[in-house]
Structure 1
Amino acid sequence: MDFSSSSEEKLIRESLKKLLESFSGEDYLKKFDSHRYDPALLSELINQGFLVDQDTNKINFDVIKILSEELGYSNSPLNPSALVSDVLITLQESSFKGLSEILKDLLSNKLYSYTSALNEPLNFEIESPKVTGKLLNNGYELSGTKILSYNLDIAKKVLISFITDDGVYLAFIETDQLEITSLDVTSKVPYSKLNLDGVIISKESIINKSGEGLYLLKNIYARRVLIQASLARGMVLKMLELTAAYTSEREQFDRPIGSFQAVSHRAANMFIDHQELDLNLQQASYLYSSGCDLENQILNLKYITGNVLHRTSYAAQHLHGGMGVAKEYPLWRYCLSAKEHEIINGNSSSALEALSKNITLNQ
């Protein structure tokens, strides 16, 4: 099986690299140290058709993965997952009728106007929401909390999930009447908490038919992990390149430290980790594009992604010595992002636990 990039993928990647050069310089990134969201970059990506094909109004998930990898490599302050993967592709897969108006608004205003709120406190399984919905005459009364919702404070609408006696539902609702609290996180990514206690939603806001909710949420989780692994692949490659350059130039005892056996072995392990992540990402991507059942492969990829990010960032900082934490040098940005993506959407331990249960039950 040939996993090499096609000429079209190479062209997309080269175009993205050229574009992101203007949005990833050290002086430019400093402007977002306290709030890691770049609306100008989002607007440019929409203008050039990387998020939505403006001729067909379709989202190409393979392009989104390439974009995510290049965003990880450049450490640009933007994550397309909530807008494109969680909302737009899910609306495309569901029974929702107003996607064309959503895309028209996005292409016109070029803002992060739509996001998702699917994560919950102490619940790593987004396909099993704890937020409940009590049936009323004209809709549902919700109870529960969502956390780590990206750009919720500036979104006009949010996609939420909840569980009822009839199963799992997803609803696309206005944000103007919701209780939203911005969270101060170490990575300075604009995450928010959403309190849904007492919120009443209409049946018209529900985007899925009965029995369809679990399927949609499983697809959302699979795409999240694929995007997360793509971001990680870019970050790991950049940390590997920074480490290779530094250990080749830094001298001790009149020789580059990269020539020391212990250093070269540690750097070699970083390369092996990058190849491990790359292989498993390609396998899971192929299964996703083929429409195969890939629950266990996604859990395995989540487990590997978290571990590779942890080991690579730790080794990179170790081999850089004091420079590894110096803010005059770019490595600290990648290590901070690596820690975020190591634990968000569930950590490696939670993925391994879920995978082991599936294997034990022959699923």
Structure 2
Amino acid sequence: MNFTFSDDQNSIRELACQIFSDRASDEFLLGFSRTDETYDETLWQTLADQGLLGVAIPESAGGTGLGLTELCMVLEEQGRRVAPVPLYASLVLGGLPIAEFGSTKQQQRYLPSLASGKAKFSAAIAELGMNVAIATKVSATQGAQGWILDGKKAVVPDGAVADFILVPAEDAKGQQTVFVVDISAPGVTVQSVEIGLSGERAAHLILENVTVADDTVLGVPGQGADIIEWLEQRANVCHCALQVGVTEEAMKRTADFLGERKQFGVALGTFQALAMRMADSYIDVEAIRSTYWLALWRLSEGLDARAEVRAAKWWACDAAHRIVCSAQHLHGGIGADVEYPIHRFYLMAKQISFSLGNASQQLEKLGRLLAEDDSLGFRAMEVEEA
């Protein structure tokens, strides 16, 4: 692996950092939390104007033609500021699969509006991290006028603000096909639902005899399972990118607080017990970063990254819990004050940890992978050069 980023990549990171820092300050977020708004449309449009919404969109479709690494850099910076914009759902769940599997016509239809900030996207794949008993399905029947979709999808990320949702549906033969569904189409109902305390506006999607044209099929009919597997790997890695930003900033803020707060006339950070907890947090942050970088690199190089993605997401769930809990605890009583900013990092970290499968689910799926393919168990011992 080559851990050196290019000048263009560093410029992307610096631009994202500046935009998020300038807009999503602690003072702004406190005021924003007192409104009825869930997302900051001004920040969303600024990201569009500066070309960051199109960072992983082909130039032919109005983007900058970069890739997954650059997109993850933007997400890291969003995580550092816990900025209230639906980047993950739109750019990752919607933009990436359309750019990869969409026809030229589909790319020209959907991606320019995403890059310009005029449309938001998502994908109805939350059941990948759900109990099978409560997972919902959509059926697809091919008719004379196209396809007819019927069924429900639960907890679509940022679905309440999405204009288009990628929906996997199953035909009579049990094969999956992914459709790009316009939420304004007849028979489509979107029920807004707030996710826990994080404030994210997800949605339950209900499709009742919805007719969609053949040109809304992403890829080809029956390719849905492959598309969802491809998307799940990248979605989990992008979750890790967000988590690196969230946990590293929570750790840094806690370290600053312990250096300033005094008890018995000395800074709390000089107490050995607290210093050791901060050291543990640092190790956990670096573990999330290193495993996520490995998975990201393998995906970017077109290599098999199934095991690496599961390992990275496990760290992003398991270690993040320790980091943000320590941050809350070491802030003492002020950490429980919802007008003090540290709680936002806790909420966002927990939201990421329970999306697309928690730590236990990631570990279970990793175990199945290792049991099915012996070669995966030796990959961690290989020295790879890029």
- TM-score normalised by the chain length of structure 2: 0.86
Pick from 309, 328, 345 the counterpart of residue 298 of structure 1. Answer: 309
- Matched residues in 1 for 2:209 and 2:68: separation? 36
Q: What residue is the counterpart of 1:5 in the other structure?
A: 5
Q: What residue is the counterpart of 1:325 in the other structure?
A: 336
> Shift in Å at residue 307 of structure 1?
0.8
Give the 3 Å change call, closer, same or farther, for CA 124–287 of structure 1 in structure 2. Answer: farther
> Shift in Å at residue 361 of structure 1?
2.2
Give the 3 Å change call, closer, same or farther, for CA 313–243 of structure 1 in structure 2. Answer: same
Pick from 346, 353, 359 the counterpart of residue 335 of structure 1. Answer: 346
> Shift in Å at residue 219 of structure 1?
1.7
- Matched residues in 2 for 1:208 and 1:107: separation? 21
- Matched residues in 1 for 2:31 and 2:167: separation? 31
**Contact map agreement 2:128 2:356 (CA 8 A) in 1:** no
- Matched residues in 1 for 2:212 and 2:19: separation? 41
What amino acid sits opposite 1:313 in the alignment?
Answer: V
1:208 aligns with 2:216: no
Pick from 186, 194, 197 the counterpart of residue 184 of structure 1. Answer: 194
> Shift in Å at residue 90 of structure 1?
1.0
Aligned length: 360
- Provide the identity percentage: 24
The range that moved more, 225-234 or 211-220, is 211-220
Give the 3 Å change call, closer, same or farther, for CA 122–220 of structure 1 in structure 2. Answer: closer
The range that moved more, 116-125 or 29-38, is 116-125
Pick from 299, 314, 339 the counterpart of residue 288 of structure 1. Answer: 299
- Matched residues in 1 for 2:84 and 2:249: separation? 16
- Matched residues in 2 for 1:240 and 1:107: separation? 33
- Matched residues in 1 for 2:237 and 2:46: separation? 23
- Matched residues in 2 for 1:84 and 1:59: separation? 13
1:99-114 mapped onto 2 (5 Å cutoff): 99-108=107-116, 110-114=117-121
> Shift in Å at residue 166 of structure 1?
5.5
1:226-305 mapped onto 2 (5 Å cutoff): 226-305=237-316
> Shift in Å at residue 246 of structure 1?
1.1
SS at match of 1:265: helix
Q: What residue is the counterpart of 1:17 in the other structure?
A: 17
> Shift in Å at residue 221 of structure 1?
0.8
> Shift in Å at residue 151 of structure 1?
3.5
Q: What residue is the counterpart of 1:168 in the other structure?
A: 176
1:115-126 mapped onto 2 (5 Å cutoff): 115-120=122-127, 123=130
**Contact map agreement 1:115 1:150 (CA 8 A) in 2:** yes
SS at match of 2:126: coil
The range that moved more, 181-190 or 23-32, is 23-32
SS at match of 1:91: helix
Q: What residue is the counterpart of 1:357 in the other structure?
A: 368
- Deviations, residues 193-242 of structure 1 (Å, cap 9, x unaligned): 11235434343321221453222111211111111111110111111111
> Shift in Å at residue 122 of structure 1?
6.7
What amino acid sits opposite 2:46 in the alignment?
Answer: E
SS at match of 1:328: coil
Q: What residue is the counterpart of 1:70 in the other structure?
A: 77
What amino acid sits opposite 1:145 in the alignment?
Answer: K
Q: What residue is the counterpart of 2:358 in the other structure?
A: 347
1:30-109 mapped onto 2 (5 Å cutoff): 30-33=30-33, 34-52=36-54, 56=60, 57=63, 58-96=65-103, 97-108=105-116
**Contact map agreement 1:129 1:161 (CA 8 A) in 2:** no
What amino acid sits opposite 2:47 in the alignment?
Answer: L
What amino acid sits opposite 2:52 in the alignment?
Answer: F
Give the 3 Å change call, closer, same or farther, for CA 122–25 of structure 1 in structure 2. Answer: closer
C-alpha RMSD of the superposition: 2.3
The range that moved more, 56-65 or 306-315, is 56-65
- Matched residues in 1 for 2:145 and 2:53: separation? 36
Give the 3 Å change call, closer, same or farther, for CA 63–295 of structure 1 in structure 2. Answer: same
**Contact map agreement 1:148 1:193 (CA 8 A) in 2:** yes
> Shift in Å at residue 253 of structure 1?
2.3
